[in-house]
A and B are shown apart, each in its own frame.
Chain A
Amino acid sequence: MSPRGLWTLVALPCVAGLLWAASPSPPVKAPAIPQRIVSINLCADQLVLALADKRQIAGLTKNATDTTMSGEAAKARGIPLLSNSAEQILAIEPDLIVGMPASRSAALRALPEHTYPLLDLATANTLDEIYASVRQTAVAVGHPERGTALIARMESELAGLPKPGKGRTAAYYQRRGYMTGTGTLIDELMTRTGLVNLSGKLGKPPLSQLSLEEMVAAEPDFLIVESATDKVNDQGSEMLHHPALKDIPRISVPQAWTVCGSPAYTQAARSMATQIAHIDGSRS
């Protein structure tokens, strides 16, 4: 744990109490089933929406209803959206705040007394980490059985997934030439569908920038792009439509499925496998 994180725990005993909330013997303060849950992170929004009852949720982040960013956006309709301000949280008096991690939130630090139960989720970069945060959230919102069921469903959806990539190279290429590297959810999705991440081959960090020239010279077998960039709407996305890239087949995945470790992981994996098979089919 970082010194900063340690400090937070020492300085705010209530936070430490919270972390125990996920364990079998809940502390006195946190109610068994929270009724006014506030999520202060887009990724936490998706887990809370997937696992809690709608009436339990008192507030989500402002992007929670954006279908291009969240796989659970449809469920978020009608729930108040907060702009990460301390005032709004104060007014709700939540009995559970979920964040990634919640204890580092500037809005919460601005509150005079940190008396709210918090659930700190870690950023999920692998499927196992997704399962772990599903389990943690399910327990914290008072429905552990839903977590178990969701994980079982995801496992069965991934069980029969083919690996059509057959060891070919793919690059996850973002606007302005950013490329996603190893140790990320995208990288794991590539491995799961049988692809090899170009970034790993080139020895690049988790997020690097690769010019068009370098991309052409690297000759990847596939480009994976966010579906939001399928249409040119600014100079950043225009780059991905440069004629120099026209011969590299594309796999397009909505950002809503990949930006967070969420139940939508299985949709992303299945969509990628289908698209690879489709590209191969149209070639032969």
Chain B
Amino acid sequence: MSRFALPRWSLIAALAALTLVAAIASLLFGAVDLSVARLVDAATGNNDKVASIILFDLRLPRTLLALAVGAMLGLAGAALQGYLRNPLAEPSVLGTSNAAALGGVAAIYFGLADIHPIVLPLLATGGALVSLALLFVLAGKAESPLTLILAGIAVGTLAVAGTSLALNLSPNPFAAMEIMTWLLGSLENRSFDHVWLALPCIAIGTAMLLWNGRALDALTLGEDAAQALGIDLRRMRLRLLVGTAIGVGGAVAVAGAIGFVGLIVPHLIRPLTDRSPSAILLPSAIGGAALLTLADLGVRIIPTTNELKLGVVTAFLGVPVFLIHLMRERRIW
């Protein structure tokens, strides 16, 4: 038991409050200065067309996506770290996000997404699934946690190269700009179309991952012990694999490959809990939502001529915190 451990429900309540504050701030701030009074007027249906378009068509979908994508990435990080018993496991380090981006890129730039909107999350999910399957095959039985990370780097690098190649092959003269957006992630200019595309995938992914709490706890005793406790390891692996692929696929399809969220959040949450994998699942999801919403707020508030990419902010926010924890916890891991 860590000395910082909070009772489970008070931790969740505190994180939820933080997330709520982040979400409200995300609705209040943007490129155009609108007074709170004007936004409240727009929200209550007064006849202020500009404010209501900005609030409902621009800021609201963006906020909802930041919450959902952040939650998915935080949860996926927590679940993968628990299952692989590796503190560095998370969708972007393992190459899952980049593989999903490759799927998304293929859907958009070769016109497949025109067939039906669902093709986009479908191909992104497919990309994520292939990368995870490849990863488990490459490093599933390995003794060293490093093997997994190396396999992840290989898979991720391949996916990034594939994304660049696909964009360069596509008849698009603006490929370089597009590559950057896909690889660093952005929530700029998202609409409710994107919310409806991503939300079902993220809901399914979240449900499949949250389901695994007890099995993940049992797994900390080793695979044999877990099986002795009645855990069906094969089904659990399948749930994790498919849940992560669908959720991350949906998130990446609309936001690009945003790094570090799944890495940082479980590390920040873990000291506040009893360190069992099940205890960090839900808090990591809520914490991820708060972190990404705040990062996306930072993107809008930091004055730059071009809007910053989300992945840049998550890296700057996350890496120092992550390093401090790494130094402090080296002995524990």
Contacts and interface: CB of A to CB of B under 8 A. Distances in A.
Contacts of B54: 213, 216-217, 244
A176 B177 contact: yes
Mostly helix, strand, loop or mixed at chain A's interface? helix
A113 interface: no
Contact of A234 (B32, B57, B109): B109
Contacts of A234: 108-109, 172, 174, 178
B37 to A, nearest CB: 16
A264 to B, nearest CB: 20
A175 B174 contact: yes
A221 interface: no
B58 interface: yes
Contacts of B191: 242-244
A1 B117 CA distance: 54
A155 to B, nearest CB: 34
Contacts of B111: 233
B192 A243 contact: yes
A212 B50 contact: no
A219 interface: yes
Interface residues of A, number: 21
A219 B32 CA distance: 13
Nearest to A177: B189
Contacts of B306: 209
A214 B31 contact: yes
Interface string B183-200: 000001101110000000
Q: How large is the interface on B (under 10, 10 to 19, 20 to 34, 35 or more residues)?
A: 20 to 34
B109 A212 contact: no
B108 A211 contact: no
Interface string A229-250: 0000111101100111001000
A214 B34 CA distance: 11
Interface in B293-314: 305-307
Nearest to A210: B31
Contacts of B81: none
Given A213-B32, A244-B53, A235 B178 contact: yes
A243 B57 contact: yes
A175 B177 CA distance: 11
B67 to A, nearest CB: 19
29 contacts: A209-B305, A211-B31, A211-B32, A211-B188, A212-B58, A212-B189, A213-B30, A214-B32, A216-B32, A216-B58, A217-B32, A217-B54, A219-B50, A233-B111, A233-B172, A234-B109, A234-B178, A235-B108, A235-B181, A236-B174, A236-B177, A236-B178, A239-B189, A242-B189, A242-B191, A243-B57, A244-B53, A244-B54, A244-B191
Given A214-B31, A243-B191, 10 more contacts: A176-B177, A213-B31, A216-B54, A234-B178, A235-B181, A235-B182, A236-B174, A242-B57, A242-B191, A244-B53
Interface pairs A-B: 6 shortest CB-CB:
A244-B57, A211-B31, A213-B31, A217-B32, A239-B189, A213-B32
